[in-house]
């Protein structure tokens, strides 16, 4: 079955870059997503990348996709304390109807002043 894995914790200093990594198993995934969840809140879509892309940049966020290794990363430049949250990567597995996302376990990002 589909499996999405992330490292559980990341701690960085304010102003540094954060890199959150994710691996997935389904090579036929169409879209891959990054969501942010603040404590007690729902999920906020940060960015997404189509499977035929290698990179996508959106302001402080850079997504890199290595389809060969099935590896996805999210880089946050100039990390701020407000970026502290849980970050989920998610995929739509191939052959799955749109909207049935498979999520990773989430990476808890802690930003220290």
Partner 1 sequence: GAVVSQHPSRVICKSGTSVKIECRSLDFQATTMFWYRQFPKQSLMLMATSNEGSKATYEQGVEKDKFLINHASLTLSTLTVTSAHPEDSSFYICSAQGDGANVLTFGAGSRLTVL
Q: Which residues would be at the binding site for partner 1 (CB under 8 A)?
A: 31, 35, 40-45, 48, 50, 88, 97-106
- We find the least distance from the C-beta atom of residue 86 to partner 1, in angstroms, to be 9
Both structure tokens of 108: 């808890």
- We find the least distance from the C-beta atom of residue 82 to partner 1, in angstroms, to be 18
Which residue, 4 or 111, has its beta carbon nearer to partner 1? 4
- We find the least distance from the C-beta atom of residue 43 to partner 1, in angstroms, to be 4
Which residue, 18 or 87, has its beta carbon nearer to partner 1? 87
Which residue, 82 or 98, has its beta carbon nearer to partner 1? 98
Looking at beta carbons, which pairs linking 36-45 to residues 24 or more positions away fall under 8 Å?
36/85, 36/86, 36/87, 36/88, 37/85, 37/86, 37/87, 37/88, 37/106, 38/85, 38/86, 39/85, 43/88
Look-up: residue for tokens 């169409």? 30
C-alpha to C-alpha distance for 90 and 82, rounded to whole angstroms:
22
Which residue, 73 or 96, has its beta carbon nearer to partner 1? 96
């Amino acid at each position: 079955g589909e499996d999405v894995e992330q490292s559980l914790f990341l701690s960085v200093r304010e102003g540094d870059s954060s890199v959150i990594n994710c691996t997935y198993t389904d090579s036929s995934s169409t879209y891959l997503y990054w969501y942010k969840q603040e404590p007690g809140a729902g999920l906020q879509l940060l960015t997404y990348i189509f499977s035929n892309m290698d990179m996508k940049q959106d302001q402080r966020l850079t997504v890199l996709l290595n389809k060969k290794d099935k590896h996805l990363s999210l880089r946050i430049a100039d990390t701020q304390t407000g970026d502290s949250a849980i970050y989920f990567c998610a995929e739509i597995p191939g052959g799955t109807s749109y909207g049935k996302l498979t999520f990773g376990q989430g990476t808890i990002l802690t930003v220290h002043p």
